[in-house]
Amino acid sequence: MRRHLASSTETFPIAGGFTISRGTKTEAVVVTCRITAGEYSGWGECVPYARYGESIESVLAEISDATSAIEAGASREDLRQIMRAGAARNAVDCALWDLEAKASGTPVWSTINAVPSAPLTTAYTISLGEPEAMAAQTARHSDRALLKVKVGTADDATRIRAVRAAAPESRIILDANEGWSGETLAYHLAICAEAGVSLIEQPLPAGRDQALAHLERIVPVCADESVHLAADLAALTDRYDAINIKLDKAGGMTEALDLRSQADRLGLKVMVGCMVGSSLAMAPAVLLAQGADFVDLDGPLLLARDRAPGLRYEDSLVFPPEANLWG
């Protein structure tokens, strides 16, 4: 049966702004893909990321260029040859997963996991700011089990200590977004160990992270910008202890499943993370994240409004998607 593909953009305001070392966002602009075959429609959402050379316009153009092949019946495996890894392929790949699940009556969880999906403890993100502002933000969420704290300045010690003092019981992931240098790395690692940080995400710029292989990692270090595909992993095992899998980086669930399997084979811990998007973008990631070591799928919690229907969040838990959302 011939398919029909349609793509569009949607904008979701962010509650209070979202700041990392590269700047501040006040809204999440996403691309939504819908693939229809007969009475069934599958949906996918992606978030273009300028760090990887993507824009709304470039992602829409990539989807448009692949539309004829997709409408003619290209499979998810075909997509890996037709489209480059990235946000555009993620939206299409996830829409195909959703379409297949609805047409077959077989939910995605039963295809990729041996047991039904369960609620997961997700991190909640604390934006980068002055130490006092970060401490105040942290204090409002100190009852959460897991916090992800944005840093990435020349001297983050005061920020790290302020956040830890404001949330003495929470586990903390620290995300430097490539903002540290080889000169400050050992110093910041020592501060993180002192503060009981559980994981440090991408402290050095991708491609300039060799220093991680030559010092004792007294706190586990996680690759984010340094890893996109399963083929990337073999070259990274000497400098990272974990990887952050994001569907928008990998180009969809199909590649992300291979990436997770390869990480398991290499003994790397796994985080499943996200860009700032709606529940439609998080839904497939919740299924991918079953059994992961760290889960960071709080995108909808950072929005002033989410799409409906959305994912169910209760305190630090995110619940698997209902079929009317995705999968």
Q: Are both 298 and 215 inside the same structural domain?
A: yes
Q: Which of 102, 148, 150, 249 is catalytic?
A: 150
Report the pLDDT value the prediction gives residue 21, as an integer from 0 to 100. 67
pLDDT band at 18 (very low <50, low <70, confident <90, very high): confident
Residue the block writes with tokens 């084979």: 265
Q: Which of 61, 86, 111 is the last residue of a domain?
A: 111
Q: Does 131 score more than 70 pLDDT? A: yes
Of 54, 88, 111, the residue at which a domain comes to its end is 111
Taking each continuous run of H as one helix and of E as one strand, the counts in the chain are: 10, 14
Specify the residue for token string 């709080």.
298
In this prediction, residue 155 carries a pLDDT of 81
| pLDDT cut 90: percent of the chain above it | 94
What pLDDT is attached to residue 114? 73
Choosing from 25, 102, 148, 246, the catalytic residue is 246
Tell me the per-residue pLDDT of 214-264, one tens digit each, with 9 for 90 and over.
Answer: 999 999 999 999 999 999 999 999 999 999 999 999 999 999 999 999 999
Supply 263's token pair: 């990480």
CA distance 241 to 96: 32
In this prediction, residues 108-117 reach a mean pLDDT of 91
Q: Any catalytic annotation for residue 249?
A: no
195 and 305, same domain (yes or no): yes
**Residue 327 falls within a domain, yes or no?**
no
Catalytic residue list contains 148 = no
Separation CA 59–CA 121 (nearest Å): 31
199-201, strands of its sheet edge to edge = 124-126, 146-150, 171-175, 199-201, 221-223, 242-245, 269-272, 294-295
Q: Which of 76, 96, 111 is the last residue of a domain?
A: 111
User: Is residue 324 included in any domain, yes or no?
Assistant: no
Inform me whether the pLDDT recorded for 49 exceeds 70: yes
Amino acid at 54: E
Q: Examine the domain organization and report whether 126 and 197 are in the same domain.
A: yes
| 187 plus 308 within the same structural domain | yes
Asked whether residue 153 falls in the same domain as residue 229, the answer is yes
Question: Using 50, 70 and 90 to split pLDDT, how confident is the model at 115?
Answer: confident
| Whether 32 contacts 7, CB under 8 Å | yes
Question: Mean per-residue pLDDT for 285-302?
Answer: 97
- Least Cα distance to 207 among 231, 178, 184, 173 occurs for 178
Q: Own/partner pairs for 132-141, CB < 8 Å, 24+ apart?
A: 132/162, 134/159, 134/162, 134/163, 135/162, 135/163, 135/165, 135/166, 136/166, 138/162, 138/163, 138/166, 138/167, 139/166, 139/167, 141/167
For residue 29, the enclosing domain spans 4-111
Average pLDDT value over all residues in the chain: 96
Residues 174, 93, single domain; the answer is no
Residue 22 pLDDT more than 80? no
The SS3 assignment for 17 reads strand
pLDDT in tens, 52-82: 999 999 999 999 999 999 999 999 999 999 9
Q: Measured between alpha carbons, how far is 87 from 49 in angstroms, rounded to an integer?
A: 8
Residues 104, 117 within the same domain: no
Q: 90 and 232 share a domain?
A: no
Please check whether residue 319 is in contact with residue 313, taking contact to mean a CB–CB distance below 8 angstroms: yes
The position carrying tokens 């969880």 is: 109
Same domain for 178 and 301, yes or no, is yes
Structurally, how many domains does the chain consist of?
Answer: 2
- Regarding whether 230 and 98 lie in a shared domain, the answer is no
> For position 102, which CATH number holds?
3.30.390.10
Closest CA to 209 of 176, 182, 232: 182
Flag whether 227 is in a domain.
yes
In a domain, 18, yes or no: yes
Is 45 a residue whose pLDDT tops 90?
Answer: yes
Do 68 and 179 share a domain, yes or no? no
Residue 323 falls inside a structural domain: no
Tokens 């974990």 correspond to what residue? 242
Asked if residue 122 and residue 26 are part of one domain, the reply reads no
